[in-house]
Amino acid sequence: AYEKKQAAKAAAQLLPYVRTVCELYGVSGKFRKPRVKILFGKETVTTHKENNIFYRLDASKIMFSKGNLSERKRLIPQIKNGEVVLDGFAGIGYFSLGLARFSRAKKIYSIEKNRTAFGYLKENIRLNRLDNIEPICGDFRKVRLPEKVDRILMGYFPYTEKFLGAAFGFLKTKGIITYHNIFSRGDIWKKPLEQLKQSAKENGYRISKIHGKRIVKGYAPGIFHVVIDAEF
C-alpha cells in the first residue's frame, strides 16, 4: 500500500493536471458502482473531456468506461435527420451528450434510475449547453414517454433481455434497438440474436435487418460485452 501511495504522489507531482489518484478495484451492482480507494489527494469530482464533450462525475461513485470510447462515437453518424432517440440507461450521459451535440437527432430522452448519476446527467446537459435532451429520473420499465421513438439505446448489462419487453413498448412501428449484453464466447452470436427474435415475437415485432454487430470489449475471462443494432 505504501508503494502505491508513493507512486500516486509521484504521478500527481509529474502531471500538473492530476490532483487526485484513485485505485479502481472493480464495478458492481445494477447501478454499476465502482469500488475506489483514494491513493493521493481528496477531491474525486472531475471533468473528463473526450471528443469535445465534458463529462462531469464523481469518480468515487460513478463509473466511466474508457473501453466504450469507440461505441460512444460509432452511433453519431448512424442517426438519421430528425430521429427521436431514447437512451434507456443514460448514466451521466455517456451516449446522450455526444448524440445531442453531434448527431442529427431531433430529441433525446435520457432515462436514469440512480439519483447520483441523474444529478450529473443534468449537470452535464447544462455544462455542454445542450437543449435537445430530456432527462428523466426513473426505472426503464416504469417510465412513460409522451411519444414513440425511432431508436433505443440499451447500454446496460447483464440480463438486458429482461428489459426488451419494455423497450418494444417505447418503439414506433419501425425502429432500431441498440442492444448491449454480455455473453460467453460460445454463445456469440446465436444467443443474443435469439433473445432479440424471441422478444420481438412476443411484442408483435420482427427483425427486419441487422445493421451491425460487434464485440465492444472483454468483460471477464471468456465473457464479452457485445452490441447489436437491430431494426424491427
- When asked if residue 140 is in the footprint of ligand SAM (CB under 6 A), the reply is yes
Name which position in 23, 43, 139, 147 contacts ligand SAM (CB under 6 A): 139
Name which position in 93, 98, 155, 192 contacts ligand SAM (CB under 6 A): 155
Stretch that binds ligand SAM, among 9-17, 101-109, 110-118, 217-225 (CB under 6 A): 110-118
Contact 20, 9 (CB under 8 A): no
- Cβ closer to ligand SAM: 9 or 50? 50
Name which position in 21, 60, 68, 200 contacts ligand SAM (CB under 6 A): 68
Contact 143, 136 (CB under 8 A): yes
- Cβ closer to ligand SAM: 9 or 32? 32
Name which position in 65, 78, 132, 203 contacts ligand SAM (CB under 6 A): 65
Q: How far is CA 150 from CA 19, 33, 70, 167, in A?
A: 42, 30, 22, 11
All three cell numbers of 48, joined, read 473528463
Residue 101 has φ and ψ, to the nearest 5°, of -80, -45
Locus of grid cell 421513438: 149
Number of residues engaging ligand SAM in binding (CB under 6 A):
17
What is the identity of the amino acid at 193?
L
Contact 129, 101 (CB under 8 A): no
Locus of grid cell 454499476: 32
- When asked if residue 91 is in the footprint of ligand SAM (CB under 6 A), the reply is yes
Which parts of this chain interact with ligand SAM (CB under 6 A)?
Answer: 30-32, 65, 68, 89, 91, 94, 111-114, 117, 139-140, 155-156
